[in-house]
Structure 1
Amino acid sequence: MSDLICIGAVAGAFGVRGEVRLKSFCANPEDIATYGPLSSEDGSQSYTVSLTSVVKNGFAARLGGVETKEQADALKGLRLFAPRDRLPSLPDDEYYHADLIGLDVYDTGGTLLGQVKSVQNHGAADLLELHGPGMKNTVLLPFTLAAVPTVDLEQGRIIADPPEGLF
């Protein structure tokens, strides 16, 4: 399991005074400001976060050390990470996406179906994007209790009962 969890991303500059448009991936979006300072994935950059207002699809925010629109523009696409120990512990049936990526997925008979490439959400529910041997394309498995009855982080595997015809 990764020590850093992605909790937000910079969507670009907001205004001309160095503010950024910030997308939060937190369950309570405004909590992104409480887990700081946040860092880049490699840890080479670190930023304090101060939310200034709510904007469409996120927040306007000030990042420590970012003073100009040009500096804010240069950060577009930057994913922001917090150390796992600063984040709340999750209930037994909830997982950080970072913990699911890379897990092997087996069917209820023990046959390897593939490996989790990413976790996606297009509005309705989370989907596990699987790839693996014998697959021409990735497969999107609904991340529901019916389709994924078991997630075993200690063993590094997921047991799935995929809908008929998915594989």
Structure 2
Amino acid sequence: MATDRICVGAIAGAFGVRGEVRLKSFCAQPEAIAAYAPLWTEDGGRSFTVKLTRGTGGGLTARLSGVNTREEAEALRGIELFADRHKLPNLPDDEFYHADLIGLEVLDTSGAPLGRVKAVHNHGAGDFLEIIGGAATLLLPFTKAAVPTVDLTVGRIVADPPGDLGDE
């Protein structure tokens, strides 16, 4: 399920009046986002070089190429930023880019299909896989206990849902 670009951040809005943006980094080291530039919009229609200007409570501020006014910066609010995959670090065997998990088939430990990964969510308490199977949606904690096997080569996840989550 490899993609050429991986989402590494998003523009949270304008900062100041000279075109700076508030930048939310999805990188393990938030400041590393600048090293992956140019960053692209999802459709690949626009790219930006990034110069970090300062940290702000929980985020970063940056100057993006071609963004010179507060209005231009504010117009980019909500835009996700993507880096070319080859610029990103290789991950250890037990870590994955979310984009690589989307679309993978999910089976339970006996081999019965549970569905496919639709999304990966993190609301502060760890990652959850959203699995769509038939009419049911399953939110599965992305832990070693609940997801003992991820095989990107085969395109499959083996899951052991806690309790009776997988019994529907």
Q: TM-score, normalised by structure 1?
A: 0.96
Give the superposition deviation at 1:56.
2.2
User: Could you say which residue in structure 2 is the equivalent of 1:154?
Assistant: 153
Q: C-alpha separation between the residues in 2 aligned to 1:93 and 1:123?
A: 20
User: Could you say which residue in structure 1 is the equivalent of 2:13?
Assistant: 12
Aligned residue-pair number: 165
Give the 3-state SS of the residue equivalent to 1:7 in structure 2. Answer: strand
- The residue type paired with residue 25 of structure 2 is S
How high is the sequence identity, in percent, across the aligned residues?
65
Q: C-alpha separation between the residues in 2 aligned to 1:94 and 1:60?
A: 28
Give the 3-state SS of the residue equivalent to 1:72 in structure 2. Answer: helix
Q: C-alpha separation between the residues in 2 aligned to 1:109 and 1:158?
A: 12
Give the superposition deviation at 1:123.
1.4
Give the superposition deviation at 1:124.
1.8
Give the superposition deviation at 1:165.
1.1
Return structure 1 stretches of 4+ with deviation > 4 angstroms. Answer: none
User: Could you say which residue in structure 1 is the equivalent of 2:163?
Assistant: 164
Alignment of 1:1-167 (within 5 A): 1-135=2-136, 138-167=137-166
Q: C-alpha separation between the residues in 2 aligned to 1:130 and 1:66?
A: 38
Q: C-alpha separation between the residues in 2 aligned to 1:113 and 1:8?
A: 30
Give the superposition deviation at 1:107.
0.2
RMSD: 0.8
- The residue type paired with residue 111 of structure 1 is A
Q: TM-score, normalised by structure 2?
A: 0.96
- The residue type paired with residue 103 of structure 2 is G
